[in-house]
A and B are shown apart, each in its own frame.
Chain A
């Protein structure tokens, strides 16, 4: 398992040819314990995906800005990272089995079959991604992320644009697989109830350039339920005391301790 140190002073993108840099992220300083499930909630454009990509090493970060187990990303010995993207990002020219085998070349046939069965796609291994529905493709994406038993799991709004029953099913699947693997998880979402349902800890980002405006632990017992009374209570009280929280407006810093959550 992996603990994370994320230190970002700023992160800017070149906005077009003009050479003008636009800031996506400002100061961010987050420590994540090994095995913790952290949700990052923020409005769109807050740089959530950028932050995730920096943690994954897909986006450049300052030297030593991202550390796994105290070791900077650049000096990192190979470690197992799973990434579930907003889009499933499967290779369209490979079958499901080949897609999974791509990330775990040494896996046995039965291990791959077991993995497909776990996400409810048994017997579909010879199909190509385009022969599946969007929800099924996402399940393959989830299976792929867990295929190499990741120590660190990154999720970028993986259930966006899914219908409610499918999203519920996949959330349960994710929680279940995470219980088994006990990976450290960073889960980016803009859906507060989803975050409350899944996470040990929620970090709220401001609107662009993103910075941490709130960091709370969720102590509600598991298994949690979507729309459960305690979950709802936490959600409504969070929003009552911090009306601008989801819009990323940090004007109200007087966060109050409330049922099930603590600062």
Chain B
């Protein structure tokens, strides 16, 4: 337990020092463009208590969740198929390269234009942006799958389901974790852009409103709130998953 609390302190220390530097510089600059930490925190508190920050956070989080799940499932399936069949991989490689390099903004605009300013278009736009990066990572994993272990599955005539879930897929877990982690951070950034461009709720929409009023304290308050949520997801879901996966794989 001692080492665990030490770890938490070590993790918090840099954050606290940044906050301290911020507070001091804002205090001395006395600029309207840089509110102090305490100002931001009190704004955050206001939004939490009498604004509807929680509603917007929940809406954004929901969009993040949907597009994350869609991107992961499609990305993992396509990645496995491309990794398993070299022919298909060669055929799809150029397409994948193009997809990887299409700017997020272009997909978002096109989705809104083609499908209208609707929720499905927003979520699709985010998922489309993420899928290629998942595919690239999973494909690498599928290429280095241990053929020796698959031979074991074949000799012992494992059922296809057992072979896939107990022999094949576990070898991809580290790759799936890595893409999930990078995916989460990428997705929530894109979700905000999507909200800013074509939604009337969510964190991105709120940020745009605050931008109109140059309400810098509120912008920072929303940023803090969402960063806290991402940290929580990392600590409560990603880390335990990591540990679970690392249990078997040396």
Whether A105 and B162, one on each chain, are in contact in the complex, defined by CB atoms closer than 8 angstroms, is: yes
> How far in angstroms is the closest Cβ of chain A from B20?
44
Residues of A near B103 (CB, < 8 A) are: none
Confirm or deny: B95 has a beta carbon within 8 angstroms of a beta carbon on chain A: no
Q: Which of A92, A98, A103 contacts B156 (CB 8 A)?
A: A103
Q: Mark A residues whose CB is within 8 Å of B.
A: 53, 56-58, 78, 81, 83, 85, 87, 89, 91-94, 98, 102-103, 105, 128, 130, 144, 148, 154
The verdict on A93 contacting B151 (CB below 8 Å), with A102-B156, A102-B162, A105-B162 known, is no
**Residue on A nearest B247 in the bound complex, by CB:** A128
Whether A93 and B248, one on each chain, are in contact in the complex, defined by CB atoms closer than 8 angstroms, is: yes
Whether A91 and B167, one on each chain, are in contact in the complex, defined by CB atoms closer than 8 angstroms, is: yes
> How far in angstroms is the closest Cβ of chain A from B151?
5
How long is the Cα–Cα vector from A215 to B97 in the complex, in angstroms? Answer: 58
Confirm or deny: B157 has a beta carbon within 8 angstroms of a beta carbon on chain A: yes
Whether B158 and A103, one on each chain, are in contact in the complex, defined by CB atoms closer than 8 angstroms, is: yes
Whether A91 and B155, one on each chain, are in contact in the complex, defined by CB atoms closer than 8 angstroms, is: no
Confirm or deny: B166 has a beta carbon within 8 angstroms of a beta carbon on chain A: yes
How long is the Cα–Cα vector from A58 to B155 in the complex, in angstroms? Answer: 7
Determine which residue in B149, B245, B248 has the highest number of CB atoms from chain A within 10 A of its CB, and name it.
B248
How long is the Cα–Cα vector from A93 to B249 in the complex, in angstroms? Answer: 6
**Residue on B nearest A79 in the bound complex, by CB:** B157
Chosen A-B contacts, 13 in total, with CB atoms closer than 8 Å, are A58-B151, A58-B155, A78-B157, A83-B152, A83-B156, A87-B148, A89-B148, A91-B166, A92-B248, A93-B249, A102-B158, A102-B166, A102-B167
Confirm or deny: B154 has a beta carbon within 8 angstroms of a beta carbon on chain A: yes
> How far in angstroms is the closest Cβ of chain A from B90?
15
Determine which residue in A57, A92, A93, A128 has the highest number of CB atoms from chain B within 10 A of its CB, and name it.
A93
How long is the Cα–Cα vector from A89 to B152 in the complex, in angstroms? Answer: 7
7 smallest CB-CB distances across A and B, nearest first, come from A93-B248, A103-B156, A93-B170, A83-B155, A130-B250, A92-B248, A89-B152
